[in-house]
Structure 1
Amino acid sequence: MPSTLIIGGHGKVALLAAPMLGDLGFSVTSVIRDCAQSADIEDTGATPLVLDITEVTPEEWDTLLAGFDVIVWSAGAGGGAPERTYAVDRDAALAVIDSLERLRDAGKAPRYLNVSYVGATKHSVPEDDPFFAYADSKKTVDDRLNGTEGLDYAILGPAALTLEPSNGWAPVDAAAENPEWSTETSRELVADVIAELAARDTLPENRTVEFIDGPNPVSEIG
């Protein structure tokens, strides 16, 4: 049975993705920071793992990640102090990439799906904007990941997230040609894309997949 580790397991996207992955035959372990969230994780069919990802050593990351076939990064500080945002969204995410490179060199790197947001590497958020720490963190991580070699990875770039049900996907630029379409992305769609890419034999050649809600089945993402 293939195995998946979801980092940030109690987020809205992760809670939707876990049962989808389970339905595809994956065993799922979801990393959470608060043990009080364990019941919610178990309700998805996943196994909770309580861990503060800002405190994990390189050796601990290597040991943990080596035990899975697919790693999903869906963690986030959720706003607040910039220091916390940088600690989670940048530093912990970079530590995971560092670990994946070490595992690659040992011949056992798992597939990596990194949930980011559309246009992260091209952001122009000013430094005095409260969103800057998040945008800067995501750009740093995505640039770092795109600079790696030999990793089997994809960066997921949804637009503004909603709680609407998913009816399919479309490329981000399709909205300009179809003004009646939403320019947002449902969280359920992000979860659908995670499950789709986790189960594929090969990932899209374009390692950054940016998408909005649309009419196309996720099986056509390429």
Structure 2
Amino acid sequence: MANVTIIGGHGKVALLAEPKLVEAGHAVNAVIRNPEQTEEVEKTGASAVILDIQNASTTEIENMLKQTKTDVLVWSAGAGGGDRQRTFAIDQDAAIRTMEAAQYTGVKRYIMVSYMGAGNGHRVPESNGFYAYETAKAVADAFLRDSDLDFTILGPGALTTDPAEGIEVNNDPENNETPRELVAEVIAAVVDDDSTIGKAIPFSAGSDSVKQAIAAAPAKRDFKK
């Protein structure tokens, strides 16, 4: 079993993924900025780690990875849109610092929660708040693909609160509703499946088995059609 560290440990997806990883036998560290979130995070069975990832230096992230004895690093953080400067600071710059820190400390396995359209250009004008997110995620994903890390990039579609009933591995922006619970299930499954290393897996709600679908996903390194 592995020591799994989740960046963005109080996020809606992370709070669903943490108990699944704990149930699978992993030791889980949930990286959070606000100490007041500790109790909620630790109810999942994870250990809270306080670190402001937006402002943490690469060295500070390295120290955190060493202290937690991280084997697998999961990026599940995000600025949440809106503020362009914060979006670039978190979704691009901070994400890249975690990749650099992982490489410097020998943490080979890195799982990125991205989104289905990442790297396919801009679907909105520059004046739209989502434009910065599209740009930041494309840059961060490209940096990860060019790194020496054993990466998997996950590309869920539009997130919903629906229950997870199955998966479809696809890249269809017109049919992309994706329960957050399904994203959590995919994170847990990918941690245990080294056949997903080097893959970018776009997915949404469907009827297939998660474990079988991710194992059978094409060995693509991006989401471009």
TM-score by length of structure 1 reads: 0.89
Q: Which amino acid aligns with 1:31?
A: V
Q: CA deviation at 1:28?
A: 0.7
Structure 1 residue aligned with 2:177: 184
CA contact (8 A) 2:150 2:197 kept: no
Structure 1 residue aligned with 2:222: none
Structure 2 residue aligned with 1:213: 205
What secondary structure is seen at the aligned counterpart in 1 of 2:21? helix
1:145-191 C-alpha deviation (Å, 9 max, x unpaired)? 11123x11100000000000101111224798xxxxx5311100100
Runs of 4+ in structure 1 off by over 6 angstroms are none
Q: CA deviation at 1:71?
A: 0.7
Aligned partners of 1:143, 1:173: CA distance in 2, in Å?
Answer: 18
Where do 5+ consecutive residues of structure 1 fail to align? Answer: 177-181
Aligned partners of 1:193, 1:34: CA distance in 2, in Å?
Answer: 26
Structure 2 residue aligned with 1:112: 110
Where do 5+ consecutive residues of structure 2 fail to align? Answer: 216-225
Structure 2 residue aligned with 1:73: 75
CA contact (8 A) 1:126 1:132 kept: yes
Structure 2 residue aligned with 1:133: 132
Aligned partners of 1:112, 1:206: CA distance in 2, in Å?
Answer: 10
Instruction: State yes or no: 1:19 paired with 2:19.
Output: yes
Cα RMSD after superposing both structures: 1.7
Change (3 A) 1:37 1:216: same
Q: Greater CA deviation, 50-59 or 115-124? A: 50-59
Aligned partners of 1:174, 1:120: CA distance in 2, in Å?
Answer: 13
Q: CA deviation at 1:69?
A: 1.0
Aligned pairs, how many? 211
Aligned partners of 2:139, 2:160: CA distance in 1, in Å?
Answer: 25
CA contact (8 A) 2:29 2:46 kept: yes
What secondary structure is seen at the aligned counterpart in 2 of 1:122? coil
Structure 2 residue aligned with 1:171: 169
Percent identity of paired positions between Structure 1 and Structure 2 = 42
What secondary structure is seen at the aligned counterpart in 1 of 2:203? strand
Q: CA deviation at 1:128?
A: 1.3
Q: CA deviation at 1:88?
A: 0.8
TM-score by length of structure 2 reads: 0.88
Q: Which amino acid aligns with 1:191?
A: A
